[in-house]
Amino acid sequence: MKIFLDTADIESIKRANDTGLLDGITTNPSKVLESGKKFYDVIKEICQIVKGPVSAEAVAVKAEDIVKEAVIIAGIAPNVVIKVPMTHEGLKASFMLKEKGIKVNVTMVFAADQVLLALKTNPTFVSIVISRLDKIGGDVVALINDSVKIKQNYGFNGEILAASIKNRANVIDCMKAGIDIVTLPENIFFDMFNHPQTEYGLREFDVAWDNVKKAGLA
């Protein structure tokens, strides 16, 4: 499973990228606003740090306008992926962008039938949005499992990307189901390194090593 960071914060991206475990980045207008930087500048800077895919959102409504906007954004760097909405116009744009050789991430997907429609446009990614569904009492685990099953049933190439993840349990559900990619906030990414028993065991080893040295056995 690939791990993306969901942010436009440059320092967060550098910290995660330094682990060698980061596969890509997703952003959205809210993340860019939080960064306090101009949209094109921040996307360019991210692409200079991260070798993997960097998803940036086209916000136009009509398919033709989405494509015009996407062509400009995609020109920032070769690893840019254009996020388009799970709408009639967004999926039209997905087809059109694929013909232009521009990678697409269909986003704001909340149901199994939406997953199917999005995958039929042959995008690079289809982003199922976890926390928003959870807020309205939707069955998050069912969506995760159904998305993987739909892709497998029909042999689609697009990768299923689980977005807006808010806890490690969501990540584990995605791992069990065989989700292709999760995109995480920095705190969850680094929390995955931790477990109380890991810390406890390492402290025990430190004490034992001190005793080894005191005994002159080092």
Cα distance between residue 178 and residue 149, in whole Å: 9
Cα distance between residue 185 and residue 177, in whole Å: 21
Catalytic member of 31, 62, 83, 98: 83
DSSP string for residues in 73-127: HHTT-TTEEEEEESSHHHHHHHHHHHHTT--EEEEEE-SHHHHHHHHHT--SEEE
CA angle 17, 19, 25 (to 5 degrees): 30
Cα distance between residue 33 and residue 39, in whole Å: 8
Name the H helices within the chain.
10-17, 29-35, 39-49, 63-74, 88-99, 112-120, 130-135, 140-154, 168-177, 186-191, 196-214
Active site residue 83: yes
Q: Compute the average pLDDT of residues 118-127.
A: 98
| Tokens at 208, concatenated | 């034992």
| Digit-coded pLDDT (tens) for 34-66 | 999 999 999 999 999 999 999 999 999 999 999
Correct CATH for 2-214 of 3.40.50.720, 3.40.50.300, 2.40.37.10, 3.20.20.70: 3.20.20.70
What average pLDDT does the structure give for the chain?
97
Q: What is the structure's pLDDT at 158?
A: 98
pLDDT > 90: percent of the chain: 99
Q: How many Cα atoms are found within 13 Å in the side-chain-facing hemisphere of 47?
A: 19
DSSP state for residue 69 in the 8-state scheme: H
Confidence tier at 171 by pLDDT (50, 70, 90)? very high
Q: CB-based contacts of 60: which residues, under 8 Å, 6+ apart?
A: 66, 68, 69
Q: Domain residue spans in the chain?
A: 2-214
| Digit-coded pLDDT (tens) for 187-198 | 999 999 999 999
CB count, 10 Å around CB of 29? 13
Inter-helix orientation angle 39-49/10-17, to 10°: 10
User: What stretch of H or E contains 181?
Assistant: strand 181-184
Coil, strand or helix: which one is 11? helix
DSSP state for residue 2 in the 8-state scheme: E
The single-letter code of the amino acid at 48 is Q
